[in-house]
Amino acid sequence: MSRYDYDLFTLGAGSGGVSGSRYAASKGARVAICEDSRVGGTCVIRGCVPKKLFMYASQFSDAFGDAAGYGWTVPEASFDMATLQAAKSKETARLEGIYRTMLGNSGVALVEGRGRVIDAHTVEVAGKAYTAERILVATGGKPAAPAIPGIELAMTSNEILDLAERPARLLVLGAGYIAVEFAGIFRGFGSAVTVAFRGDAPLRGFDEDLRRRLATEMTNRGITLAAGFAPASIEKAGGEFIVRGADGSELRADAVLNALGRVPNSAGLGLEEAGVRIDAKTGAVVVDAFSRTSVPGIFAVGDVTNRIALTPVAIAEARAFVDTEFGGAARHIDHALVASAVFSQPPIGSIGLSEQAAKAKGFDVTVFESDFRPMKNTISGRNERSYMKLVVDRASDKVLGLHMIGVDAGELVQGFAVAVTMGATKADFDRTIAVHPTAGEEFVLMRTPRKD
């Protein structure tokens, strides 16, 4: 009989924690998981799922506008935030119930409360100690709170999903995933939206052609881009917020969203006291390729490790951890090729190296691209365009990167990600018969390299 209460004790019942715990239980392990908030974590409760429901809701304004070109007469539409909130809350509650049921059916014990690591084999929750042969930290991330006076007056991605009313003027600070997604959402709801950021274009780190095109499309939708703006302070005066920039400029709004990044949720868990190494700059739990921390017996996966902060990555890392520790098959995740989607409007999908990153790595690249107006937009009169790009290694013909901005970009890139992950060449794309008429066919019909 084991000298521990459990074979595995997991901190955090989000996507990575739940997936890893259930998978370990399926291998015969005795597993417990603790959570101090709602089961389902950021993605299900206050992230991917509710955000995408909001995105769907915001797109009806486009649909109503496009309908006339196709012969439909649509009465003047109005939007009610309370109705959407009620529907969103009902759906997240349903999903939380499913997650709780899945844990129960898997034989995973759910311990309500915040866990604190005492040592390599002990976790304390609500004053009670639980012992385990292995501890898995899967506590995710949280919105960053930069040292800006008044930053506490701004909403984060948590609070904006619970707004009771649509703000007439929304100021978004930042230009990453969260910033551009909520900018598009609330513009679709009818808010006047300004996005203020330090750089010269949104989505730092993405391919430059996608960044420029997204900036153009956001502007065409009526979103104001305040590039080069470094927030220095936030204050509330009467019914409005005033955000002052480092250069003395001012931006005013009825609501402010702090979308200035996220940080690993590692503080207050007793990790450093237990000897777990934490990156001093980022707050991330430092792990090796197999998600092992500096303390034998303690592991970490997902956003708390700050490798790639995406839900599917957390799940993959958790399952690889279980295979290694409980399945007798040591394996780890290759983070070099991970597809991603940004649900901006229009959305972005991407996998592999950007043109700039490929060149920085020393590749001699050939670039293929297609820039077109989607068929649906021709009759509706919408001017929004789609853009697709392949970055190809000239020496091997291997597709190093595949990028798209336009309708259904995420769906399309998910499919093509299989080919890129398998090491497809441009010749493989060329010999693939197109499906017509679709947007995706453009990826296999590009024949002429871009002339630089």
Please indicate if the annotation marks 97 as binding a ligand: no
Beta carbons of 56 and 84 less than 8 angstroms apart:
no
At 246 the three-state DSSP class reads coil
Please indicate if the annotation marks 177 as binding a ligand: yes
Please indicate if the annotation marks 52 as binding a ligand: yes
- Buried/exposed 392-424: b ≥16 CB within 10 Å, e otherwise: bbeeeebbbbbbbbbbbbbebbeebbebbeeeb
Please indicate if the annotation marks 333 as binding a ligand: no
Q: Amino acid identity, residue 6?
A: Y
The residue annotated as part of the active site, out of 121, 335, 403, 436, is: 436
Rounded Cα distance, 181 and 290, in Å? 33
Please indicate if the annotation marks 36 as binding a ligand: no
Helix or strand (DSSP H, E) at 150? none
Helix or strand (DSSP H, E) at 364? none
Please indicate if the annotation marks 248 as binding a ligand: no
Q: What angle do CA 57, 62, 66 make, to 5 degrees?
A: 140
Please indicate if the annotation marks 24 as binding a ligand: no
Please indicate if the annotation marks 179 as binding a ligand: yes
Please indicate if the annotation marks 228 as binding a ligand: no
- Whether 332 is a known active-site residue: answer no
Please indicate if the annotation marks 174 as binding a ligand: yes
Alpha helices in 295-338 (DSSP H): 311-326
Q: Which of 222, 229, 230 is nearest to 193 (CA)?
A: 222
Please indicate if the annotation marks 328 as binding a ligand: no
What distances in angstroms separate CA 178 from CA 20, 113, 118, 233, 387, one per listed residue? 26, 28, 35, 21, 22
Please indicate if the annotation marks 28 as binding a ligand: no
R_g (Cα) of the chain, nearest Å: 24
| 252 C-beta neighbours (distance < 10 Å), count | 13
Query: Can you say which residues are annotated as belonging to the binding site for NAD(+)?
Result: 174-181, 261
Query: Can you say which residues are annotated as belonging to the binding site?
Result: 52, 115, 174-181, 261, 303
Which residues are known catalytic residues? 436
Query: Can you say which residues are annotated as belonging to the binding site for FAD?
Result: 52, 115, 303
